[in-house]
Structure 1
């Protein structure tokens, strides 16, 4: 079937609107996929980063607070245990350079109290390094003996702890080689915490000594790592669910929008076609009828040599009249209420209508299928579909061929008609464009035949598809809804010819 020659022949004709440079289509789904992925990934990454930072900071601050409270409580307990005079604090006993200057306290008792306290500090769990600073920032005791006696001048955290009279903590992942006080006896593996714990005078206003503890809390590190995993897994899963949920919604919206756009374009096309068809009908119908009548009268008295030319005139007039009818039918308002129509009977009626042309072209016709097949359509609309398909198929086979119609049932509730010919066929590009309104490759064609077929089939819940190969023929498949109560009947034994 040149199939549906209304849409396939030798010379390609395209409407003027098709020649215009098309606007670049906005791909909603693609841009949403890219932009939403970037936004959600950025938000999820930011949430994950700040959440993990919060977990580390909160955990470090809590550990530092507990360590400071423990050191300060231990210092007070050691003073009470040594039965030192009232008003004595551990802060004033930690600098061995001041041992001879404590009134009412022997140097031996001072040293014993200090040693007992520092022994507790040295054996704190998870300790990497412990330093004790005097008021002049000199290290007077350390678990690393190489640091004793060194004065630390530039240390912002140490300065802040002395001036603010509050415990200061910080966390690190890497040892700073430029800081003299970070001379650990062993390298930390993952995370270590630096705590500055001030020890005050009796009134709690002046810092007398500063205890610096470097810890690598193994249990805290494990909890932080578990928190990292939980936060990032939750963030990734949540971000993925949000992204794919929104993607599905937008994908559905894009499909519906595309469908609505197609329907809008088709509606506008048919409105324009209606206006044009009305103008064509009023302008051409009467002149065409007069031309045909005059030609028929002339044919009765014309010489044999003129008979052929007059016959061509009548043929071309009939062809133009058929175009006008197709335009009017394609825009005629139709009801969406389907009726039960016998597809096999409609095929037989169409075959009889085209019997002379089938015989003149030397085409063999066969019908395979049940005796009766009821489908949901309307008689006039179904006749229009079959007439368009038969006309195109026969025009594709001017020198003979085979036109085959097969009727069957698919998926229980649907009936199928496959109409195939052995005509010229189409190119791949023509096959893709064949259902577009006003697209035609036929000299003088209007390009409404297949567009009308598609419109009618979809109106009644059916569909149409086409496949073709050049010089091999065309195959058109129509899928109908079966009408309620339809009878299948018996198979044709050998088809009709």
Structure 2
């Protein structure tokens, strides 16, 4: 049941892709929504601070003039003169404020005492919330886009002005600090407005870049994690399958020991009879093969009991290869296959159990012999690499690996043979990996297959 569940989960790739797509869409929306909100808030904060700083400077400047010229009574309407001598300097400075295209001076009662537009003098606009706030001592600069007719006091604006900064400057008494009037200022500072536009652009570009970087990093991490999970899932399924194979193999191996012992006993009794020499050689081969099978079964059962200390962990490569070729000598002679050994110098020793290494090599050689139906050449070579590991290269002149099987060679129960089980290579790779080595197959450039077996060497 666990195998079926695992296989189903692997086949459920469209569902996996759909979940990844949903995750990426939600992540994209969340990241870029957050980036937009933060960039908008940041740019707005910076722009507000710039306008506030400009308004504070203008406020301090105008209040200092009012105090110097002692013009506070003018805002309270105490003097009868429309422009008494002590306010001429103040009005002159108001009209010459940098980038100001309109200015209105409001008295304590809300009437316009002086304006850069003479038609505005003497008027009073009801429901003027900004003026009410200024009379309470608050300074609230505001960046506006002109909407003709939106406010009564916005009529008569010069052409070419689309954006402006508007604020009401509270005018205070010098000693008590009491608000006695206000000055409404309309400014269109090109440099300041250009800076605000640039700040918005930079904030949006920064948010876009940060969002892209964050989303890209998240996508890389998620994609990598997804691949790792898929590999682990495939590994778990393969492990479960091989575990079932191992349990079955243990049961079969344990059950084969008694029949093998009986076969060997019968062969030994037959050897004592008066039989021809060629029959005696055949019976001797039977006993040798029984001994080899018994050795494999014993090694397998000991490994299944997690008792590897009972077996040798050093294998002499050339001797193991020689035994393997002897096992298949009759088959190769029958098929017209020539074995060519090209070993390196000395007798390299690998950190591997000889019986397990022999089992792996037998599986590889058996596949190569089956592939060469009409004869050919089986090449086996070994060498010691600079890193101390031992490399075994096995080649054949068969038809090679079918394209549809290249990606499924080491999957349990996946085989291209009509009578194959698909467990030999899978078990072989697991055995080699447990030894600390690797096993790979590939098609040769000319013909046939090349198998590369890497094992840790004995120092």
Smaller-chain TM-score bracket:
0.7 to 0.9
Contact 2:344 2:384 in 1 (8 A): no
Residue in 1 aligned with 2:49?
A: 58
The 1:133/1:186 distance shift into structure 2, 3 A limit, reads farther
Are residues 1:175 and 2:146 paired? yes
Are residues 1:361 and 2:352 paired? no
TM-score (norm 1): 0.69
Matches within 5 A, 1:325-364: 328=300, 332=304, 333=306, 335=308, 339=313, 341-364=315-338
Matches within 5 A, 1:244-323: 257-258=229-230, 260-281=232-253
User: Would you tell me which structure has more helix in proportion to its own residues?
Assistant: 2
Q: CA deviation at 1:435?
A: 0.5
> Equivalents in 1 of 2:353, 2:32: separation in Å?
54
Q: CA deviation at 1:481?
A: 3.4
> Equivalents in 1 of 2:298, 2:127: separation in Å?
95
Corresponding residue to 2:76 among 88, 92, 112: 92
Q: CA deviation at 1:345?
A: 3.6
Contact 1:68 1:197 in 2 (8 A): yes
The 1:58/1:392 distance shift into structure 2, 3 A limit, reads same
Equivalenced residue count is 428
The 1:278/1:353 distance shift into structure 2, 3 A limit, reads closer
Residue in 1 aligned with 2:12?
A: 24
Corresponding residue to 1:428 among 403, 407, 411: 403
Q: CA deviation at 1:354?
A: 1.3
Give the SS at the match of 1:476: strand
Q: CA deviation at 1:213?
A: 0.5
Contact 1:127 1:214 in 2 (8 A): yes
> Equivalents in 2 of 1:441, 1:326: separation in Å?
30
Q: Which runs of 5+ in 1 are unaligned?
A: 1-14, 81-87, 94-101, 299-313, 485-497
Q: CA deviation at 1:397?
A: 1.7
TM-score (norm 2): 0.74
> Equivalents in 1 of 2:195, 2:405: separation in Å?
67
The 1:44/1:277 distance shift into structure 2, 3 A limit, reads same
Residue in 2 aligned with 1:166?
A: 138
The 1:375/1:239 distance shift into structure 2, 3 A limit, reads farther
The 1:247/1:326 distance shift into structure 2, 3 A limit, reads farther
> Equivalents in 2 of 1:330, 1:247: separation in Å?
47
Corresponding residue to 1:384 among 353, 359, 372: 359
> Equivalents in 2 of 1:414, 1:53: separation in Å?
65
> Equivalents in 1 of 2:25, 2:300: separation in Å?
47
Corresponding residue to 1:132 among 90, 105, 111: 105
Q: CA deviation at 1:224?
A: 5.0
Residue in 2 aligned with 1:370?
A: 344
> Equivalents in 2 of 1:369, 1:398: separation in Å?
26
Contact 2:356 2:431 in 1 (8 A): yes
Residue in 1 aligned with 2:283?
A: none
The 1:20/1:66 distance shift into structure 2, 3 A limit, reads closer
Give the SS at the match of 2:374: coil
Q: CA deviation at 1:123?
A: 0.9
Measured against aligned partners, the alpha-carbon deviations of 1:210-240 in whole angstroms (never above 9, x if no partner) come to 3110224466557656765776676567666
Q: CA deviation at 1:187?
A: 3.7
Contact 2:6 2:233 in 1 (8 A): no
23-32 vs 433-442, which moves further: 23-32
Q: CA deviation at 1:361?
A: 0.8
Q: CA deviation at 1:453?
A: 1.5
> Equivalents in 2 of 1:239, 1:326: separation in Å?
62
The 1:19/1:462 distance shift into structure 2, 3 A limit, reads closer
Q: CA deviation at 1:260?
A: 4.6
Contact 1:166 1:198 in 2 (8 A): yes
Q: CA deviation at 1:127?
A: 1.8
> Equivalents in 2 of 1:481, 1:74: separation in Å?
92
Contact 1:161 1:167 in 2 (8 A): yes
> Equivalents in 2 of 1:257, 1:394: separation in Å?
38
Q: CA deviation at 1:208?
A: 5.7
Q: CA deviation at 1:468?
A: 4.0
Contact 1:198 1:211 in 2 (8 A): yes
Contact 1:274 1:328 in 2 (8 A): no
